[in-house]
Amino acid sequence: MPPLPIKWTRAIASLAVAVRRFARAVLGAWLVVGPFVGVYARETDALVVVLILLAAGYGFVAGRCASEGAACLVPILLDGVALLVVLWIADSASSAFRGFRLSEYRWLWPALLLLCFWLAEFVRSPRRAARA
């Protein structure tokens, strides 16, 4: 099989970084917003699920901070806050797109958010290669 062109390699590498960064952003957003979700959980089953997810998230981050140091917490929280800001802006702008009925497609918002992270990583990748 012939090697991939450089642009394709860059796109695939930036997609891999974007998926990791998106997962880190979801974890960071859950660490920030999760306790508030727990406060507003009405049913006992929902509260148990939220508490289990919170314990898993905080436990994962605590274990990672124990092995790597507290510096690993900064990128998680920064990406989480960035994701929350993007969601806030998208929610505010969603009234402009009501005619498209985007709320009917539940897969669309995660796909668009991953696309945003992928685009950000794709734009950053040449600068990263130039520094190396």
> What is this structure's pTM?
0.75
Residues of the chain with pLDDT under 50: none
Angstrom distances, CA of residue 69 to CA of 6, 28, 62, 63, 77: 36, 17, 9, 9, 15
pLDDT for the residue 70: 86
pLDDT for the residue 56: 95
pLDDT for the residue 57: 94
- Identify which of 6, 4, 29 has the alpha carbon closest to the alpha carbon of residue 117: 29
